[in-house]
Amino acid sequence: MTPHHSSVLAHLFLLLLLPLALSFLHPPHHPPVHVPTLVPHAPTSLTHSRFSAQTQLDFTTHCNSSCFHRGEQEVQKEQLSEKLAFETLYADGSRTLTTVDVESDGEFDAHPSTRVKPRHRRVRRQIYGADGRFNIRGDNFLLDYPFSTAVRISTGCTGILVSQRHVLTAAHCVHDGKDYVKGARKLRVGFLTPPFVNGTQAGLSSPKKPLVRWVRVKRTRVPKGWIQGPQDVSMDFDYALLELRWPHRRPFMHLSVAPSSDDLAGNRIHFSGFDSDRPGELVYRFCPVEEESNDLIYQHCDARPGASGSGVYGRVWDDTLERWERKVIGIFSGHQWLEIDGENRDYNVAVRITPLKFAQICYWVHGNRLDCIQD
């Protein structure tokens, strides 16, 4: 059996089996998540970007027990406001800084307690055991939801559609913590277009690789928590939102505050990206959550550089629809060495969408803080 047929069969198996399995799951019974309100101030102008940074697709950080257990609850309100301020980069290279106030009647965040399990010492790797990634091929599959929500970023990363004009990706794909990368000067988002759309007979799988239709980015927003200056960057704020010059016509995936992994259907996360070792291919994977901190999701989903910025989603219970729905709960960032009690462990890591990050990204998308309640 060819790899193409294997990936198709695996996809069909998941589509048929998951709805049946989900029907037996009981919805979690928790009070609604409180989402704080961000009150933005008038933006101030900054100097034009120099676009002097190099894109770093193979992003790796180190963390010890103090940063693993650090949470938003322990940060002063003024510090949170400073980290949730954001820069806006426009297509002409101009920049603005918007400061914010955080308003909340309750706790800033409601996370599960962090948990660390004893594990064998690992060497650094981004593929764990047998490669569990699937190439998404075939004209119909590429246009099927949720795979159709994955897009390419011209700097070499991946993004996910979260509205008709907005793409969520990793901050390090456009900014290195000190300056914007060279490729951000004329940043574009690429939509995969199966060959049949360009003349091949519809419904048939083409041996050709899909084409890419590029759309210019109108503006880019990066949280100040990522733009730290001379100190080391942290994965906690490794996310950015791109606004397209023109709206697209594809379905997009809604955002959600990341629940505890115990409240994800099957305790699994999923994401699709453009891994560098499979050029021109969209690659899908899923795996269980291994660990979770207040700001990060630790897992062993197989991934390679190029997958950074992929939207990490899970099946989340929707109280309004009374069913399990796919929602974006994080952004794939890269690789992290985690040192706990003198033992080094390695993980692939996603940035967790906390209530505060949800409020910020939602404001970026809607431009109206009143629309930003947990949906």
Per the residue annotation, which of 26, 66, 105, 232 is the catalytic one? 232
Per the residue annotation, which of 11, 111, 172, 248 is the catalytic one? 172
Q: Do 128 and 119 touch, CB atoms closer than 8 A?
A: no
Beta strands 166-169 and 240-244 are antiparallel
Catalytic residue flag (residue 205): no
Q: Do 282 and 192 touch, CB atoms closer than 8 A?
A: yes
- Report helix, strand and coil shares of the chain as percent, to nearest 5: 20, 35, 45
Q: At what angle do helices 355-366 and 77-84 cross, to 10 degrees?
A: 40
DSSP string, 327-359: EEEEEEEEEEEEEETTEEEEEEEEEE--HHHHH
Nearest to 286 by CA among 276, 274, 307, 272: 272
Give Cα separations from 83 to 56, 98, 254 (angstroms): 22, 11, 24
SS3 65: helix
CA-CA distance, 201 to 59, in Å (whole number)? 41
Catalytic residue flag (residue 5): no
Nearest to 93 by CA among 154, 45, 44: 45
Per the residue annotation, which of 308, 310, 335, 346 is the catalytic one? 308
Catalytic residue flag (residue 41): no
Query: Which residues touch 88 (CB under 8 Å, ≥6 apart)?
Result: 43, 95, 96, 97, 98, 219, 220, 221
DSSP string, 128-166: -SS---EEE-SHHHHTSTTGGGEEEETTS-EEEE-SSSE
Nearest to 83 by CA among 102, 110, 64, 68: 102
CA-CA distance, 308 to 59, in Å (whole number)? 8
Nearest to 238 by CA among 136, 288, 309: 309
Q: Do 332 and 309 touch, CB atoms closer than 8 A?
A: yes
Active site residues per annotation: 172, 232, 308
